[in-house]
Amino acid sequence: MTRPFRRRILYIPGFDPIPPRRYRELYRREGTEQARISGYRLAFGPRRDRKGFGWAVSGVFGGQQTEAEFEVLVWADIVQESMGQSIPATYGQLLRTAWAYIGSGALWRLMRLRRGPVIAALYPVVVLLAQLALALAAGAAIGWVLGRLTGLGAWLGLPVTLAVAWAGLRLWRRLDGRIFAYYLMHDYAFTAQHGGAYPPALEARLARFTDRIAEVLTGDWDEVLVVGHSSGAYLGVSVLADLARSGRVPAGGPRLGFLTLGHVVPMASFLPRAKRLRADLRDLSMRGDLDWIDVTAPGDACSFGLCDPVAVSGIEPEGRRQPLVLSAAFSQSLSAGKRRSLRGRWFRLHFQYLCAFDRPGSYDYFAITAGPRSLRDRFAGRQHSPGRIARPVNRWTAT
């Protein structure tokens, strides 16, 4: 009997406060749908290795059996702690974050790459300022009316204005599960708080991730695949750069793959103090002991679609080998009806890389993670997708 192809996947989420079980349920639901569409079989269950949080998936692809085990490398607790900000503190974050991008010149250079993610970055600023203006206007109107009716004028009007405005701001915050203004503001503020440098708590967590991947690489796997989505993509760059520099990629071990999805690398690498990230991008791009595939889509307004994360950051070394930049091609891999159902749901589109496609092409997340071909074999001979953006527009290139 032929031995099943065995893969270990370590998934690094983006800036997400939600518990990791969300990713298990998403994978099960969307994987079941993709298997139905594409004609292979998937079955889900618990992992044999119970360290950390994850799940197992077995598959049958054209008669070939596969076994895969997922593990989520969790940093949601760091995200949750960074989001525990009061309303006044969030507006303070707004001012500091705006200055970090405007004062450094990063904002204007980011706009030369893709306007979509820049507009997404400006969205929470505009919405939060609009909420403040509306709350103050409503408070002033009610305060003026009550002041006239009671004859107390400003003695009553000012306190009422402030009280109503505060109540309005609290109401807006309660509605943020639909608006995402506070969530996105915390996201961009987290990246910008140290000018692109990682905060100490995150550095410590990345070191733990590195140790965990090194441990997994000693196992009996055909492939160890690290997947980073959104801001998890550049965290994965730093983790794997540390792993490679420390000599912990065994020559005779499993093949190491790195899949980055919907990256937002320039939001960090274009900041002046992101020297660590830029060095990691440069070093990882030279490695031949791993396979790095970067997948984005111009239709994803929250990512830098087809922007080569190494080249645009201005630190592309001579003879670079990584990554291969590919498009998920939403306009081709999603039917017209599916695209209509996702219109305006830009946050959902940012997660499409982890979901089923009803007209799948070369990119199939579930075949990549649970199928019988390694990342290297699946994309062997491929060239960068047309439309790849590689011009170095970053002002800050020190490492």
pLDDT 10s digits, 280-317: 999 999 999 999 999 999 999 999 999 999 999 999 99
Residue 151, pLDDT score: 60
Bridge partner list, 54: 71
Q: Which residues of the chain have pLDDT under 50?
A: none
394 within some domain = no
User: Residue 205 has what DSSP assignment?
Assistant: H
Residue 303, pLDDT score: 96
Residue 144, pLDDT score: 67
Last residue of a domain, one of 173, 192, 211: 192
Residue 32, pLDDT score: 97
Residues 200 and 159 in one domain: no
- Structural domain for 271, as ranges: 5-77+196-378
pLDDT tens column, 343-360:
988 889 999 999 999 999
Residues 245 and 369 in one domain: yes
Q: At what angle do helices 181-192 and 87-103 cross, to 10 degrees?
A: 50
What the block records as the tokens of 139 is 């408070």
Helix, strand, coil in percent for the chain, rounding step 5 = 50, 15, 35
The reported pTM is 0.94
Give the Cα separation of 30 and 356 in Å (integer): 5
Residue 153, pLDDT score: 53
Residues 202 and 186 in one domain: no
Residue 159, pLDDT score: 77
pLDDT tens column, 165-194:
888 899 989 988 888 899 999 999 999 999
DSSP for 59-109 reads: EEETTEEEEEEEEE---HHHHHHHH---HHHHHHHHHHHHHHHHHTTHHHH
User: Which H or E run contains 331?
Assistant: helix 330-333
Give the Cα separation of 380 and 8 in Å (integer): 20
Last residue of a domain, one of 192, 207, 224: 192
Bridge partner list, 389: 307
Give the Cα separation of 223 and 77 in Å (integer): 29
Residues 172 and 213 in one domain: no
Last residue of a domain, one of 192, 217, 249: 192
